[in-house]
Chain A
Amino acid sequence: MALLEVKDLTIRFGGLVAVDDLSFTMEEGQITSLIGPNGAGKTTVINLLTGFYTPNEGKVILDGEDITGFSTDQVVSKGLSRTFQNIRLFSNMSVEDNILIGMQHRIEYGSFLSLFPNPKKNEWERKAREEATAILERVDLSDYRYEKSTSLPYGKQRKLEIGRALVAKPKILLLDEPAAGMNPVEKKELSLFIRSLLNDVRGILLIEHDMKLVMDISDKIVVLNHGAKICEGVPEEVQNNPEVIEAYLGRKGVHHDVTGE
């Protein structure tokens, strides 16, 4: 059984069909990438999966459970966690607090018990901080624990965002253009890091512009154009698919732009 199954997903904004009858699957322990030219509808797919938008048609099945039309908080607790294209950290909170927000849905005391000290709250706070310590270690940010999140350098902010998503203990991690704004050295480091994340989660859905990165680390690639899937397969298949080349270049021919060399 596939870890995530997307079936005939469609959403329309007014007259515009932003995602058109999209189907694909994600397998356990793999990195699946969603690529496509600007405006192909990639981020819209993430917004559909995470409950920011409700699809007009179609289904999203996560680990055998239908989560179509679930609200964002339900989706998070079912095991989908995301990062954002343009980093969205909680700018006036510390690095640690950002991490703690990531795990808030697993902290089992409610608003009333928040108001005064009590055993349940104390116990959970202790546990939460322990987990935060572990995650900060994992994303290599232990030294920055009490710093303001926006005071971190760019690359570390990315990692913090990933840490914040990881601490939610998701089944699937959705990374929306994690390499945006990075130089080649940083990208190299990032691709190793993303690969290593498969130890923490059961699957990764990657949306990325950088072809080299995508071709390097993906197990499977889904190509979108104008909201519809034009190709799906392992990197080699996708690279040689004429339709993909056309979508990227507008005409047949030049090959190396797609391969990223």
Chain B
Amino acid sequence: MKKYLNSKNIIFLVIIVFMALAPLVTDPYQLRVLISCELNMIFAMSLNLLMGIGGTVSFGHAAFYGIGAYTTACLWYHLGWNYSTNFLFVILITGLAGLLLALPMSRITGRYVTVITLSFAEIVNLIIKNWDKVTLGQMGIVGIPNIDLFGFRFHSKTQFFYFTLIFVILTYILMNWLVDSKLGRNLQAMRDDSIAAEAMGIRLFPNKVIVFTISAIIAGIAGSLYAHLMTYVEPSTFNANLSFSCISIVVVGGLGNFAGTLIGSLFLTILPEYLRRFDFLFKYRMIAYGLVLVIVMWLNHSIPGLKLKQAFQALFGKILHRNRTEEEV
């Protein structure tokens, strides 16, 4: 039991307890922001698996989010299915999409990963935009109902909130199981030194495929929940900027640090909403996502395993340290 009592899991528990109590005091608008937070948590954890553990920076993760959202939206629109069946198809289709993206990874390394993931997202977006018969193109699909599970329809956002919270918890636990297993260790070894990993008998390609598939499925689930939260989907939501925001969240929280990702999601979802209040900042509120990337990279990037604590240490510790050396000289 003791091995589960580390600082990350405690942070996780604290966040979950606070989140679980939050609907008692929030107004509908704040609750909506918190649900966005939850979706970002799931989405960013899936990317963190790929980036922090798998060592592959995906610049097109929004594609899976979009595929998840559109799968459930299209199934509802064309076939009238409810979420319990759609959910299975979300897993299936986003899993296949992840598999598809992982296939070229056998031939390419380094810089081309950036290229492939970016182009993949671009192509997915173009398909969504232009496949009018299925996705209704630029217009998007509107009027998606609240989640319906085996005939039980959620009638409030509070229920939606708790339902999503369950996914946050499950994702976090899954990540911890995965990291502390043969698969997780192999992925980390590949991340640190792929040639040494190969020499230890790890087959790179199957592991890459698996991590891409799992990551895609989780991102897809987050996307499918998004569709039911917003009640509409449109292509422009799932563009490169969404992928980049997700990278921001992961980077702020720390690569390979899933509790950090939860903090990052809270921080980067709530901050821009908070900035809305100030007239002069309103138009510039999304700059936070960019600033955070530059600042965190600037302060501390001796990762993977960049922790928020370290970032703060870098911020305050560094400055002190610099003064001291100047005095010595």
Binding site for B on A (CB under 8 A): 50, 52, 71-73, 75-77, 82, 84, 88-93, 97, 100-102, 104-105, 107, 109-111, 114-117, 121, 124-125, 164, 168
Decide if A88 touches B193 in the complex (CB within 8 Å).
Answer: yes
Nearest CB of B to A106, in Å: 9
Flag whether B197 is at the interface (Cβ < 8 A): yes
* Residue B113 lies at the interface, judged by CB distance under 8 Å to chain A: no
Interfacial chain B residues near A52, Cβ < 8 Å? 195, 198-199
Q: How far is the CA of A104 from the CA of B184 in the complex (A)?
A: 11
24 chain-A/chain-B pairs, Cβ below 8 angstroms: A50-B199, A52-B199, A71-B203, A73-B198, A75-B201, A76-B199, A82-B199, A84-B199, A89-B192, A89-B196, A92-B192, A92-B256, A93-B192, A101-B185, A104-B182, A104-B200, A105-B202, A111-B207, A111-B210, A115-B174, A115-B177, A116-B174, A121-B181, A124-B182
A150 CB to nearest chain B CB (Å): 9
With an 8 A cutoff between CB atoms, is B188 at the interface? yes
* Contact B189 A90, beta carbon cutoff 8 Å: yes
Chain A residues lying within 8 Å of B140, measured Cβ to Cβ, are none
Smallest CB–CB gap between A130 and chain B, Å?
A: 15
Question: What is the CA–CA distance of A116 and B173 in the complex, to the nearest angstrom?
Answer: 9
Which of B177, B192, B206 has its CB near the most chain A CB atoms (within 10 A)? Answer: B192
Query: What is the distance, in angstroms, from A243's C-beta to the closest C-beta of chain B?
Result: 33
How many Å from the CB of B137 to the closest CB on chain A? 37
List 6 additional contacts besides A92-B188, A168-B201; criterion CB under 8 Å: A88-B196, A90-B192, A104-B185, A104-B189, A115-B174, A116-B177
CA distance A71 to B196 in the complex (A): 14
**Given the complex, which residues of A lie within 8 Å of B184, measured CB to CB?**
114
Cα distance, A76 to B201, chains bound together (Å): 5
- From B190, which residue of chain A is reached at the shortest CB distance? A90
Report B-chain residues with C-beta under 8 Å of the C-beta of A105.
Answer: 200-202
CA distance A124 to B192 in the complex (A): 24
Contact indicator B196/A84 (Cβ below 8 Å)? yes
Residues of B within 8 A of A111 (CB): 182-183, 206-207, 210
CB atoms of A102 and B210 under 8 A apart? no
Task: Give CA–CA (A168, B200) in the complex, Å.
Answer: 8
With both beta carbons as reference points, the residue of chain A lying nearest to B52 in the complex is identified as A92
Distance between Cα atoms of A205 and B177 in the complex (Å)? 38
On chain A, the residues within 8 Å of B186 by CB distance are 101, 104
Residue of A nearest to B200 (CB): A101
| Interface membership of B57, Cβ < 8 A | no
- State the B residues within 8 Å of A (CB): 174, 177-178, 181-186, 188-189, 191-193, 195-203, 206-207, 210, 214, 256, 303-305
Known interface pairs A92-B305, A114-B178. Does A72 touch B192 (Cβ–Cβ under 8 Å)? Answer: no
CA distance A168 to B181 in the complex (A): 17
Contact in complex: A102, B200 (CB < 8 Å): yes
Q: Which residues of B contact A82 (CB under 8 A)?
A: 199
Q: How far is the CB of B184 from chain A (nearest CB, A)?
A: 7
Residues of chain A with a CB closer than 8 A to B256's CB:
92
Contacts of B203 in A (CB 8 A): 71, 73
Q: Is the CB of A109 within 8 A of B185?
A: no
Nearest Cβ in chain B — how far from A246, in angstroms? Answer: 34
Name the contact of A104 in the complex, choosing from B192, B202, B206, B210 (C-beta under 8 A).
B202
Q: Which residue of A lies closest to B209 (CB)?
A: A111
Closest residue of chain B to A46 (Cβ to Cβ) is: B199
| B102 CB, nearest partner CB in chain A, Å | 13
**Nearest CB in chain A to that of B201: its residue:** A76
Q: With A and B bound together, what is the CA distance between A100 and B181 in angstroms?
A: 10
Q: Which residues of B contact A100 (CB under 8 A)?
A: 185
Residue of A nearest to B174 (CB): A115
Rounded to whole angstroms, the CA-CA distance of A7 and B177 in the bound complex is: 46
Q: How far is the CB of A126 from chain B (nearest CB, A)?
A: 13
Q: Which residues of B contact A90 (CB under 8 A)?
A: 188-189, 192-193, 196-197
Residue of A nearest to B256 (CB): A92
Contact B182 A93 (CB under 8 A): no
Name the residue on A nearest B173 (C-beta): A116
The interface residues of chain A lying within 8 Å CB-to-CB of B305 are 92
A111 CA to B202 CA, complexed, in Å: 12
B297 to chain A, nearest CB (A): 17
B173 → A minimal CB distance (Å)? 9
Q: Which residues of A contact B188 (CB under 8 A)?
A: 90, 92-93, 97
Q: In the bound complex, do residue A107 and residue B182 qualify as a contact, i.e. CB atoms below 8 Å apart?
A: yes
Give chain B nearest CB distance to A78 CB in angstroms. Answer: 10
Closest Cβ of chain A to B304, distance in Å, is 5
B201 and A72 contacting across the interface, CB-CB below 8 Å: yes
Bound together, the chains give a CA A93 to CA B184 distance in angstroms of 11
Partner of B178, one of A88, A91, A115: A115
Q: Quick check: A101 and B189 within 8 Å, CB to CB?
A: yes
Which residues on A sit within 8 Å (CB–CB) of B303? 92
Cβ contact within 8 Å between A77 and B201:
yes
Give the CA-CA distance A100 to B192 in the complex, in Å: 15
Give the distance to chain A from B28, nearest Cβ to Cβ, in Å. 36
With a cutoff of 8 Å between Cβ atoms, the chain A residues found around residue B178 in the complex are 114-115
Chain A nearest Cβ from B171, distance in angstroms: 12
**Chain A residues in 8 Å Cβ range of B196:** 84, 88-90
